[in-house]
Structures are given as C-alpha cells and as structure tokens.
Structure 1
Amino acid sequence: MALLRAIETGRRSPYFAYGFALIAFLLALVLRWMADHALPPGFPFLTFFPAVILTTFFAGLWPGILVAVLSTLAAWHFFVPPDGFGLDRPGALALGFFILIVAIDIAIIHVMNIALSRVQQERARAKKAEREASELAAHRAVLFIELQHRVSNNIQIVSALLALQKADVTDETARRALTEASNRLATIGRIQRRLHDPENVQGNFAGFLSELVEDVVRASAPARIKVAVDTPPLPLPTEKVIPAALVVAELVSNCLEHAFVGRTDGAIRVEARMEAVNRVELSVSDNGTGLPPGFDAAQVPSLGLRLVRLLTQQLGGDFTMVDTGTGAQARLCFNV
C-alpha cells in the first residue's frame, strides 16, 4: 500500500516522471554498451525492455513511451547492423518485433496502472464513507442520549411540580393521590435516565434492576426494612425493560406501604430468572402480614395493582399474587 501510494504520488510530478524516464534510458544504454562485447549477435534490445517496463509502471504512460522511442532509436543506431540508421531485412524484423513487444507491454502496464489507481480511489472513497457513517452514527447516538436525558428531566420536573402542588391540597385522599403520582413519575424518570445512560451496560437488566430497587428503597423504605435483589444477567430487549422495571418498582413500593403495617423491620426479596429458554419470571416477596382473606389481584381496585395489570398486558405475560404463610409473593412471567 505504501509503495502504491508513493508510485501514485510520483506519477503526478512531471519532474519525477520524466527524470525517471531519462535515467532509466541512460542506464539501459550504458549497460547495453558495456555488455556489447560479451553478448552474441541478435540481442540489441536486451537492456531496453526492462527500462520501458519499469518506466511505464513507475512513471506512467508518456514517460514509458518516451523511453520506448529513445530505446528504439538508440538500439537502431548503435546495436542493429548495419551501423548508423541503416536497415536490412533481419534488422527491420528485429526492430519491428521490439516495437510490437514494447507497445504491448506499455498497453498492459498502463491498463494495470489505471486499475490500481481506481482501486486506490475506491478504497479512499470507502474509507471516507465509513468515517462519515461512523461520525454520523456517533452524532445520532449523542443526540438520542441527550433527548432521553431531556425527557427524563422533564418527567422529574413534572414530578416535582406535583409534589409542590400537594402542599396546597388539604383533602387527604387528594394528597395521597398526588404523592403516588409524583412518586411514579419520579420512578419513570429514573428508569428513563438509567435505561439510556451511555455508561450502562447494554442488556444488563440485572444491574439495572438492582439500581432501580435501590432508588425506590432509598426514597421510601424505613431504615430497618431490608431489600435484596437476586438475579443473574438477563439480556432483555428495550421494549420489555421499561414495563418490567415499572412492575417491579410498583410491587416493591406496594410492599413497603402495606406489608409491614405496625412494624419497623422486615425483608423484601426481588428475584428474576429465566423460567424457560425465552420466558422470564420476576417475583417480589416479603415476610410481612400476608394477603387479606379472599384477596384477588385481578379485582383489587387500587391504582398500583391496576397499573401492574396494564403493564402485564403490555408484556403479554401473567401476573399472580399468593399468600406464602410467612408473607406474600407477587409473580410476573412473560416471554422475551
């Protein structure tokens, strides 16, 4: 590659090209003169063939033609009998043969040079296109990440506005609704930010889930409520990550609100695993008071569980809640 680039650069300079041609011709002439007494008759063009070939390859078409013309004249004058520019039948035959061969050589090498030049140009264009595509992809990625951060910031602002609005509301039910809406929006904002964080490992749902649960716990869990996350690496598609994470966040918040009424300690466990080759199981269990008699997750009117049911439908999965005897367990299964 470096040699081809050097050759291409040299051909563009007429000083190099024609200087190379003259040096090659003179060198061929001197060598032929020095070897004249050592060679048998019939080799007048021996050193001129490589001079024409090398000049055409390294210096280009017209310098090669120049060397061919000079070589023809020099060989005819000095080495083709009779001396001078005399010409008999064998000499004319040899001269014609030389002209034919060097013309073919020049044509072949010229075509090869054109092909090599086009290959170089195509490679340069391909590299330029690849570089431009890479720069465009990087630019689009930066814009996309910035857009997601702005969306996340806007969601957090709306959440903060709801929290501020709560201060002007005296009705306890309305205050609770505003608090829940503010918390949910804050959770969605955190999910949005973490999901599109450029430093977040792509497809690492386990690490993402651990960070999300930690955020929820930090926001609303009493100090003696312990929450553990147990999950292997689960590569989930982006369209599944957000609803699945929202379900887990809602279930953990539900446990913190209802499972430990009248208690200051307790434990919540979040687990995720592959139930089958393409099926994920998420579960949130606690050691709290358990479920009330006759509890039916499909009929409970609370906003949190209605949201969980809607997200389960979006995932195309199944959601159940059972009393374990030592607390309650919520379980979500869906295909990926």
Structure 2
Amino acid sequence: MKPLRMQLFEMSDHVRASPGKRWGVAVAAFGLALYARFLCDHLLPPGFPYLTFFPAVILTTFLAGVWPGAVCAVACGVAAWYWFIPPFAMFEINGSVLVALTFYACVVIVDILLIQVMHKAVDDLQEERLRSEDLVREQQRLLAEQKERERQQRVLQRELSHRMKNTLAMVQAVVSQSLRNATDVKLAGEMASARIDALARAQDTLTATNWSAADVETIVRTSVEPHQDSADRFDIFGPPMVLAAQPSMGLALAIHELATNATKYGALSTADGKVEIRWTAPGENGFAFTWIESKGPAVSEPTRRGFGSRLMERVVPTYFNGVANVDYRADGLHYRIEGELLPKEPQPLQS
C-alpha cells in the first residue's frame, strides 16, 4: 500500500489535471469553511475570524493549485471581514480591521507560496524519478543488446571454428589421398591443387550467402566454368534448389572430378563432345543429380580405383545420405547421385 503522502500528491495531480475539479474544490472548500465558521461561531471567543478559513485555503491550494487557492483565499477573507470582524455585516475599514486583514493576507500568501514551492519540489522529484527510470530502462536495453551481441559473437566463433575444422579436414583429406600411392609426385601435387581450387570456388559461392546455403545451378556453373571452352559444351538444367554448406562442397568436388576425367578421357577431350547436367527434387525431400557425357571417345571402366573414383562413388553420396552410380557406357560416362536435399550434416572426409 502506498504511503498517505503519496496518495495525497496523486490526488492533487488528479484534481489539477481537470479545470472543473480544480474550481469545484475551491467552491466546496469555501462553502464548507463558511458553514463551519457559522456553526461554531457561538463557541468561539472574539478574535478568531479565520479559524476555519485557513484550512480551506491550504487544502484548496494543495489540491487544486495556486489560482483556485488564491480565489478561495480572497473569498474567505471577504467573508470573514463581512461576517466575523466587527463591526459585523459591513465592510468598514479601521485600524483593527486593517491589522486583521493584513495578518490574514500575510498568512495565506505565505501558505500559498510554501505549498507551491512544495509542489514544485515534488514535481521536480517526479521528473527526476522518471528520467532515472528511463535511464535504467535504457541501460537495461543496452545491456541486453550487449549480451545478445556477445551471444551472437560466441555462436559465430563456434560456427567459424566448426567450418574451419571441416574445411581443413577436407583439404587435408584431398591432399593426403591425392599423394597416397602416387607414382608422379608432381602430377599428384597438381591434382591436389586443382581439387583445392574446386573447394575454394565452392566456398566463394557459400560466402555470398553467409555460408547458409548455395544454389545448385551456381555450384554447377562455377565448377564447370574452367572447362567451358564453347557455348554449347554443357547443357545445364534443373529447378531452383539450394544445398547446405557441406553437400555444396561435396557436389563441387564431384563435378570437378567428373570434368577433369572428361577432359582427359571423355567427352571434353574432343571438340564435339557434350555434357548434359541435370538435377531434380523427387518426392518431398529428394535430390537427384545426373552427369551424362556424349559424342566423346569410347570409354571403359578403369582397372584401378583412385581417390577421384572413391570420392565420386563413396564419399560424396554420404553428404546426401544417398548412393551414387557410375556407368561406363560406350557412348559416354553416366554418373548419378540419389539422396536427400537436406540431410544431416555428414562427417568430413577421412584422410
């Protein structure tokens, strides 16, 4: 429960906010004071004309403000002069009347001024309290924003660390697998460098979307761009579709291996060779990717499986929780991945 003084000041603010209530309080206070003075007139000895009028002026000034208090003071002074200061029922001026009126005027002026100063002090305190509350709220808002920025920074740091670890693990695996069992160290180094370049291009695509996802068509076109020696070399088509970060890099690696092999042994090794690239989204969360070569030299299944073959057939499909099929047809290689569009994030390549 609020203290009585706070309740009185709140009542004063409520009354002073309405002109009708302000002047109503002044009239009511004057009427009650005059009635009470008449009621106790026979009980009081001479010399107390203002006994009930002082409280009326004080109460009016406190509740209703300076002007209603001043009007009430004038009305009370005139009523006391007329009815309770001898000679009664007339406005005669003599020495005793002047002394009484001067005394009354001094008292009510001091009362009104003190009450006004008190109200001003309370109003200033109220404004200061409101400013302090605004400052506290602003500090709380800034503190909440700072905590949120710190939280986001921690999340970003963990995410960056996670991505760097995955990327470095993938690079390590690419280099390790490219050099393992290599008969020509220089050629193996060039292959590792080319694969890392393919990863870098995929990362550039992901960076444009803040590593949230990458458009499949963008991945495909970026991956085959180094081999685009003519406008009709590649026939690329598929619906708008996005992939998460890890599947995006896996698909980029697979396309790099396919394009590299096609350049050495398949459709891209001849002037008339073509490559058809298609992707679809079968079912609710399906993903299917197809690479079809044509008009190139006859191909045959290799007798030795290198890292590139294992990457396309075993590693990349895991990024889609799916499977891959490589068909070495006489008219050109056919490669197909079938899996999920939004699979759980797979583990990085093993070195």
TM-score using structure 2 length: 0.51
Aligned position for 1:227? 234
Aligned position for 1:209? 219
User: What is the distance in 2 between the residues matched to 1:204 and 1:314?
Assistant: 14
Change (3 A) 1:226 1:292: closer
Aligned position for 2:315? 310
Aligned position for 1:42? 32
1:276-295, aligned counterparts within 5 Å?
Answer: 276-289=283-296, 292=299, 295=301
User: What is the distance in 1 between the residues matched to 2:289 and 2:191?
Assistant: 23
8 A contact 1:243–1:315 mirrored in 2: no
Is 1:191 aligned with 2:191? no
Please report the RMSD computed on the Cα atoms of aligned residues, expressed in angstroms: 5.5
1:258 Cα shift? 2.0
Change (3 A) 1:82 1:202: same
Change (3 A) 1:324 1:235: same
1:128 Cα shift? 4.8
Change (3 A) 1:197 1:208: same
SS of the equivalent of 1:330 reads strand
Change (3 A) 1:227 1:284: same
Aligned position for 1:130? 145
The answer to which of 258-267 and 37-46 deviates more is 37-46
1:52-111 per-residue CA deviation (whole Å, 9 max, x = no partner) reads: 9xxxxxxxxxxxxxxxxxx8x998998599798xxxxxxxxxxxxxx9xx99xx8xxx89
8 A contact 2:26–2:60 mirrored in 1: no
8 A contact 1:227–1:267 mirrored in 2: yes
Question: Which amino acid in 1 is paired with 2:192?
Answer: A
Aligned length: 249
SS of the equivalent of 2:267 reads coil
1:168-210 per-residue CA deviation (whole Å, 9 max, x = no partner) reads: xxx9844433322221122122223332246x79523235314
1:263 Cα shift? 2.5
- Identical-pair percentage: 14
Aligned position for 1:87? none
1:22-101, aligned counterparts within 5 Å?
Answer: 41-42=31-32, 44=56, 45-46=59-60, 48-51=62-65, 79=76
Question: Which amino acid in 1 is paired with 2:222?
Answer: L
Unaligned runs of 5+ in 2: 1-15, 34-55, 82-99, 101-114, 175-181, 343-351
Q: In terms of Rg, which structure is larger? A: 2
TM-score using structure 1 length: 0.53
SS of the equivalent of 1:283 reads strand
User: What is the distance in 2 between the residues matched to 1:79 and 1:325?
Assistant: 120
Change (3 A) 1:50 1:191: farther
